[in-house]
Amino acid sequence: MSVETVLVTGAAGFIGPKVVELLLKTGYRVIVLDKLTYAARVENGQPLSLKMVLESLRGEERERYSFLRWDIADPSLPLKDVLEVGRVNNIIHMAAESHVDRSTEGKSDFIQTEIHGAYNLLKAIREQNSGKGHRVRRAVFVSTDEVYGSIDRIAGYEGERWYGLSDAEVSGLIREHQFTEATTLGGGSPYAACKGGADLLVGAYFNTFKWDSGAGDIDAERMPVIITRGVNNFGPFQHPEKLIPLAVCTLLTPNAGGDKMGIPIYDKGLAVREWLHTSDYASAIVHAMQHGNVGEVYNVGSGNRCRNRDLLLAIFRACEPHIPGAAGFGRLADAAFDATTAGGIARPGHDLCYAVNCNKMRQLGWRPEHASDFEEKINQVVKWYVANTEWWTPVWTNPEFTEYWDRKYRKIQKASEGCFNFYTSDEENRTLDESLL
3-state secondary structure of 181: coil
| Number of residues assigned to the chain | 437
Answer yes or no: 127 catalytic: no
Answer yes or no: 354 catalytic: no
Nearest to 319 by CA among 336, 298, 343: 336
Distance from CA of residue 214 to its chain's centroid?
Answer: 41
Facing residues of 300 across strands? 230
Burial 36-59 (b: 16+ CB within 10 A, else e): bbbbbbbeeebbbbbbbbbeebee
Which residues lie closer than 8 Å to 416 by C-beta, 6 or more apart?
262, 339, 340, 341, 342, 343, 345
Which residues lie closer than 8 Å to 276 by C-beta, 6 or more apart?
230, 231, 232, 233, 234, 300, 301, 302, 304, 368, 371
Nearest to 114 by CA among 78, 71, 161: 71
Write the DSSP symbol of residue 323: S
Give the C-alpha separation, 294 to 289, whole Å: 9
Give, to the nearest 10 degrees, the angle between helix 308-319 and helix 374-387.
50
Give the C-alpha separation, 16 to 8, whole Å: 8
Facing residues of 226 across strands? 140
**Options 65, 191, 205, 385, the catalytic residue:** 191
Distance from CA of residue 360 to its chain's centroid?
Answer: 20
Answer yes or no: 403 catalytic: no
Give the C-alpha separation, 371 to 386, whole Å: 22
Residue 391 CB burial class (10 angstroms; 0-12, 13-18, ≥19): middle
**Options 61, 145, 152, 310, the catalytic residue:** 145
Burial 288-322 (b: 16+ CB within 10 A, else e): bbeebebbbbbbbbbbbbbbbbbbbbbbbbbbbee
**Options 114, 146, 274, 280, the catalytic residue:** 146
For residue 322, CA distances in Å to 21, 261, 377, 407 come to 30, 17, 16, 29
Given a contact cutoff of 8 angstroms between Cβ atoms, the answer to whether 91 and 9 are in contact is yes
Looking at the annotation, which residues are catalytic? Answer: 145-146, 191
